[in-house]
Amino acid sequence: MPNIISGFSKLTKSEKIEWLLDTYFKDKDSSRTLVKRYWNSDEKLQKLHDEFIENTITNYYLPLGVAPNFLINGTLYAIPMAIEESSVVAAASKAAKFWYERGGFKTEVISTEKIGQVHFTYAGGSSDLEVFFNTVKPKLISATAEITKNMKRRGGGILDIELKNKTEDLNNYYQLHATFETLDAMGANFINSCLEQFAQTLKREAELSLDGDLDLIMSILSNYVPNCLVRAEVSCPISELKSKDIANPDLFAEKFKQAVNIAEIETYRAVTHNKGIMNGIDAVVLATGNDFRAVEAGVHAYASRNGKYTSLTHCSIENNTFKFWIEIPLALGTVGGLTSLHPLVKFSLDMLNKPTAKDLMQIVAVAGLAQNFAAVKSLTTTGIQEGHMKMHLMNILNQFEATSEEKIKIVEHFKTHVVTHSAVVEAIENIRIK
């Protein structure tokens, strides 16, 4: 068993690597070569990457793909997607082209409110605390003047602060529940700075005015943003759904709607259904330098907001019109953080014509809707595996280190045969025997 190490963070990058190799690896030379192979040859760029996080030893690459032909509110986009999963970019591109020919995607930002909370306990009377809060609320806001002045100048800032009594859930527990408008910034640092100032002011004023003890627990933004909402939808007459793989539009529309309805009422299906949506959303969020973990957490909480986990997308058939839509919370930014540091994030935002945060919310929602449409369309027509396994074919070939000549022969073979892992292995073996 390895010994615990002290001062690891103070080692140089090379020293960290050598310690790891000495402690955990048998083949040190090949492991060292692998780690260094992924360093960027541009020393300045590598230093930038090294300083994004702590204890860096190398870079971990993901493919950056592009899904073209997204018509959103009359503007044509090519959407950047950073993801490792086969078929996601292809499916999004196929859905984009399908709906381009039927009027494209329509989107709107419903609201952009973000939330932060100061959590504290108070052992005195709740009515006394309410009176105190109403008195101190203006001081809470004025004490943040230096923090908020630039944001207010641009039209954002603190929207409101409420006192929430949570003592029925947890003994003596209260919150300052604050709402914010952060414009094109995701706003985490801004919100947390405001919250910590609220907490200091609250504590100071409480010591002067309240009889009971007020104890601060923590001050932190929430990644659950049910009032930072965007909607995206597609619609067309059912007859216009007819295409190469949709021979009977009426039957397709009905089966598609039933598939979405199942995801609305069946949790096991809803989780996989929404995972497909997040394939599209996470890929764009990551490509544009935003926090996909925060988005994931908030989205799944929103899917459970009524007490049961359910589908994020919905479908209707009315007056011979097929409609498919998503309404989803997305707290995104296009300034600050990695957006001004990571070269490929800047590249991705340039590709999207330097979007505002509201623009990006709409683009990301569309990516999720497109991905879900492609998945449900496949499930209710050809089945998901036919397209997915064809996209996965190259991964299998690379796993077995197929040569370029072998790849050409095998790809040609599977144009007319079903792709399975065992079938691909057999085809490789047959070629190599010959």
Residue-by-residue DSSP string for 312-336: SEEEEEETTEEEEEEEEE----SBS
Pick left, alpha or beta for residue 232 (phi over 0 → left; psi -120 to 50 → alpha; otherwise beta). Answer: beta
400 and 421 assigned to the same domain: yes
261 and 340 assigned to the same domain: yes
252 and 356 assigned to the same domain: yes
Helix (H, G, I), strand (E, B) or coil at 221: strand
Helix (H, G, I), strand (E, B) or coil at 117: strand
* Residue 15: inside a domain: yes
Other Cβ atoms within 10 Å of 366 Cβ, number = 32
* Residue 197: inside a domain: yes
Query: What's phi and psi for 289, nearest 5 deg?
Result: 75, 20
Looking at residue 394, its amino acid is: M
* Residue 56: inside a domain: no
* Residue 2: inside a domain: no
In order along its 434 residues, the chain shows pLDDT tens digits of: 788 999 999 999 999 999 999 999 999 999 999 999 999 999 999 999 999 999 999 999 999 999 999 999 999 999 999 999 989 999 999 999 999 999 999 999 999 999 999 999 999 999 999 999 999 999 999 999 999 999 999 999 999 999 999 999 999 999 999 999 999 999 999 999 999 999 999 999 999 999 889 999 999 999 999 999 999 999 999 999 999 989 999 999 999 999 999 999 999 999 999 999 999 999 999 999 999 999 999 999 999 999 999 999 999 999 999 999 999 999 999 998 888 899 999 999 999 999 999 999 999 999 999 999 999 999 999 765 555 565 667 778 777 778 887 778 777 777 777 777 787 887 787 787 87
* Residue 25: inside a domain: yes
82 and 154 assigned to the same domain: no
> What is the rounded CA–CA span in Å between residue 158 and residue 205?
20
As annotated, the active-site residues are 85, 275, 291, 388
195 and 331 assigned to the same domain: no
Helix (H, G, I), strand (E, B) or coil at 155: coil
Q: How far is CA 372 from CA 138, 212, 281, 417, in A?
A: 46, 53, 10, 27
> What is the rounded CA–CA span in Å between residue 54 and residue 357?
28
85 and 164 assigned to the same domain: no
Cα dihedral 23/29/32/37 (nearest 10): -160
Q: How far is CA 296 from CA 11, 43, 278, 286, 363, in A?
A: 34, 34, 8, 12, 16
258 and 363 assigned to the same domain: yes
Q: Scan for tokens 């989780």, then name that residue.
A: 271
35 and 177 assigned to the same domain: no
- Token pair for residue 186? 């995701």
Which of 188, 222, 256 is a domain's end point?
Answer: 222
Other Cβ atoms within 10 Å of 311 Cβ, number = 23
CATH number of domain containing 351:
3.90.770.10
377 and 419 assigned to the same domain: no
- Residue 261 domain boundaries: 64-110+229-382
Split into its structural domains, the chain has a count of 4
Helix locations, 143-248, DSSP H: 145-153, 188-209
132 and 235 assigned to the same domain: no
